[in-house]
Every structure is written in structure tokens, then in C-alpha cells.
Amino acid sequence: YNIELPVTLLPAEFVGGEPGEFTPIQFGTKNQMGAGATLRQLIFDGTYIVGLKGAKVYNQLVAQQKGATVFEVKKNTSDAYYVAVVAVENHKMLVDNLTEIEKQLFETTKLYENGLVEENNVDQLRLNSGKIRIEVENAARQMIISRNMLKFQMGIVLRDSLVLTDDIQQLIENATAEIAGRYVYDVSQNIQFQVANAWVDVREMQVRLEKAKYLPSLSALLNVTGTSYAEAFDYFNGDNWFASSFLGVNMKVPIFSGMQRHSSLQRAKINSLITQVERERMQENLNLNLSTSNANFNQALAAFNISMENVEVSRKILRTTNRKFQEGMATSFEVTQAQSQLINDQFSLVGSALNLFEAKTQIDEILNN
């Protein structure tokens, strides 16, 4: 609604006036309404084409990152499972030691009551029994903690029960069988390398995008407009509407951007080179880590086997010392020393088992097992 129509000055001679003079004239109606629609169609745009390809590459990157996350969860769960199994074995060995020393303490106490041994022998065994009992309690707490960590990794409610069906020996036999002969390695199958490779594609796509910004873009448009003029507020009268339309082509040609496009392109090229170098370094690191992990696994396996032998020898020494003690040929201090040696060898066995499982999970991580 035009409260006051605009005034236009026409040369006066147009309406019969004197030349050089102007006549004020108002054009239009009090009411005016317009409605239109424009259809635009992109014909060519380099950034749009590169963007479509980049979306596919980015989707692949996201899928591979998801796979890497899933694999990391599996690895953490395996680590937690191994720790829980080792904790159970450690507690079992300490309980066996405690049972043995308490049996020895009971028999020695009876001998002391009959005057066959000195009180110092009883006190020494009682002291050793107390130390082992503390270790048993600590091992029990570690067993609970490790099992709760496993439940957490598996998404199991802590108050729910969880039964471990494997033992150390069975797991190590399985691990040894799985690792044997797995030296043939295709780095392209590693999930982390695949992620790095996808990042190379993404950075290269960004370079193409920056190059595409130098290209012109072309689009077409179709416009249809209707306009109504009326002195009164009457827009529903078809006689007052006048249609117009046009078909056009729009081309945008980039000319100058203050070196911004050039800087963006150079930055994208540098980022692309960085990801390529990182991918090459990752490939070298994966090959090196596989070799190192295999060596660590073999070393840990040898250490575990030696620790197993040491435990058996320590048990034999303890049995011999206990027999000598019963015969009065050894002191309670020697029994305590033999018991401590067995416990230390068992701790070494537990540590070598953890090292072995850690080396296996590292190999599994590299090989995407």
C-alpha cells in the first residue's frame, strides 16, 4: 500500500509545456502486490563435484575410524580378561602356599607341645604364615578388582556374576598356537593404516577442492512473476494481475581473491604431504613393531617356561626342606627361606605370563586379529 506515490519529473515538452521545464507526474496505484518463483539449476561447479566425491571419502574414513574403535574395545577387553585370569591363578597359588605353611605350623606346634622342637621354630612358621595370609588377602582383592574391570570393559553390571573358564596354561597354549607362523604381514590390512590411508585421501580431496575454486561456475535460472495493481484492496480480480517471466544463465568467474585462494591451496598441499609422510612412517613403525612384538612374545614365552621350571624346582626344594625339618635336620628358618623362594618364583611366573599376554595382544593389534 503506497501511502504517497513517488513523483517523477518529465520534460514539460512531453505534455505540451515549455522546453527546459519539468512536469511532476505520479505513476502507479495505491495498492500493489507481487508474487514470484525462481527455479535455479546448477550446471557446473568444480567445488560441488569435488564435494560429492569428498563426502564418499569422508564416509569411508568414519567407517574405518569406527572399526578402529571397535578393535580397540576388543583389545582392552582381551587385556582385562588376561589380567583377571592371571589374578585368579596368583590367588590360587598363594592359597596353596598358605595351606601348606599352616599344615606345617600345626605339625610343628604339636612337636613343640611334646618338647621335640624349640618355640622359635613355631614362631618363625607363624610369622611366615601371617605374611602369606596378607599376600592372599591382597591377591583376593586384586582378583575382585580385575574381574570388575573386565565386567566394565564388557558392559556387564558389576553386581552380576562372571565365571572365568580358562586358566593360564590353556591360554598360553592357545596363544602360542595362534602366534606360530604369523610372520607374513600385509600392512594394508591394519586398521590404523587404513585410517591413515583414508586421511591421505581426505587431504588430497581438499587439494582438489582448493583447485576447483579457480574454476568458473555456471548455473541457469527460470523466473516467473505475477504483479497486481489496484486502487482498491482487491487482489482477487484476475484482470488486475500481469505476468512476466525470464530465463537466464549466470556465470561466476573468480578473478582476484587477494592471494587467499593461493594460500589455501598451498596449505592444503602441505597438509596432504604431511599425511602422506605420516602414512609412510606408520607403515615402517608397524613393520618394526611386528618384529619387536614377535621377539617380545618369544622372549616372554621362554621366560614363562623357565619360570614354570623354577616353580617346580622351588616346590621340590620346599618339600625336601620340610622333610628335613620333620627329621630335625633343618631349621624353621630354612623352611621359611624355601617358602619365600617358592613365592618369589610364583610371582615371576605371574609376571612372565602377563608379559606374554601383552606381547600377544600387541601382535593381534598389528595384524587386526
Residue 133 has pLDDT above 60, yes or no: yes
Q: What is the pLDDT of residues 252-279, one digit of tens each?
A: 998 887 788 888 889 989 999 999 999 8
Long-range contacts of 123-126 (CB under 8 A, 24+ apart): 124/331, 124/332, 124/333, 124/335, 124/336, 125/101, 125/332, 125/335, 125/336
Residue 220 has pLDDT above 90, yes or no: yes
Judge whether 84 and 164 are in contact, CB under 8 Å: yes
Beta strand spans in 45-98 (E): none
- Single out the residue of 53, 88, 7, 22 nearest to residue 354, CA to CA: 88
Strands in 241-252's sheet, in edge-to-edge order, are 31-44, 217-230, 241-252
- Concatenated DSSP letters of 314-339: HHHHHHHHHHHHHTTSS-HHHHHHHH
pTM of the shown model: 0.65
Q: What is the pLDDT of residues 329-352, one digit of tens each?
A: 877 778 888 888 888 888 888 888
